[in-house]
Structure 1
Amino acid sequence: MARRAQGTAAGLSRERIADAAVALVDRDGLERFGVRRLADELGVDPMSIYHHIKGKAALLDAVSEAVLAEVAAATDDTSRDWEEIARRTAHGYREMAYRHPRVFPLLATRAQTSPVALIALERLVTAMREAGLPEQVVADAPMTLFGFLNGYLLAVLSGESGEDTGTPAIDADTYPTMAALAPLQAGYGSVAEFDRILGTVLGRVQDRAARGGTR
Structure 2
Amino acid sequence: MLSRARIVAAALRLLDAEGMEALSMRKLGAEMGAAATSLYRHVTGKDEVIELALDEVCGELVVPAADAPGDWREAVSRSGHNLRAMTLRHPWVASVLGQVGPAHLGPNLMRMSERMLALFQTAGFPASEAAPAMTAVVSYVVGATSGEAAHLSRIARGGQSERNPRALRDENFDYGLQRILDGLQARLAHA
Query: TM-score range with shorter-chain normalisation?
Result: 0.7 to 0.9
Give the AA of the match of 2:190.
Answer: R
Q: Aligned match of 2:88 in 98, 119, 130?
A: 98
**Cα shift readout 1:91-112 (whole Å, capped 9, x = no counterpart):** 1111112111134311233336
Aligned-residue offset at 1:40? 0.7
How far 1:140 sits from its partner (Å)?
A: 0.6
2:40 corresponding residue in structure 1 = 50
Bigger helix fraction: 2
Aligned pair count reads: 180
CA shift, 1:78, in A, is 4.8
- Inter-partner Cα distance in structure 1 for 2:131 and 2:138: 13
Q: Distance in 2 between matches of 1:125 and 1:32?
A: 34
Structure 1 match to 2:189: 210
- Cα offset, 1:148, TM superposition: 0.4
- Equivalent position of 1:153 in the other structure: 145
Contact 2:29 2:36 in 1 (8 A): yes
Alpha-carbon distance between aligned partners in 2 of 1:122 and 1:16, rounded to the nearest angstrom: 28
115, 131, 136: which one aligns with 2:123:
131
1:38 pairs, out of 28, 32, 46, with: 28
Q: Which one scores higher on RCO, CA 8 angstroms, separation ≥ 6?
A: 2
TM-score (norm 2): 0.82
Q: Which runs of 5+ in 2 are unaligned?
A: none
Q: Match of 2:42, SS? A: coil
Q: What TM-score, normalized by structure 1, do the two folds share?
A: 0.73
CA RMSD in angstroms, aligned pairs only: 2.5
Q: CA deviation at 1:22?
A: 1.2
Larger Rg: 1 or 2?
1
Q: Return closer, same or farther for 1:148/1:78 CA change in 2, 3 Å cut-off.
A: closer
Which whole-Å deviations, capped at 9, do the CAs of 1:19-66 have from their partners, x for residues lacking one? 110111222221121011101111122233222222221111011112
Deviation at 1:88, TM superposition (A): 2.2
**Shift, 1:128, TM fit:** 2.2
Out of 161, 172, 176, the residue aligned to residue 193 of structure 1 is 172
Unmatched tracts of structure 1, length 5 or more: 1-9, 167-185
| Contact 1:26/1:103, CA 8 A, preserved across alignment | no
Aligned-pair CA distance for 1:204: 1.0
One-letter identity of the residue aligned with 1:66: E
- Confirm or deny: 8 A CA contact 1:82 1:128 kept in the other structure: yes
Residue 137 of structure 1 and its aligned partner are, at CA, apart by 2.5
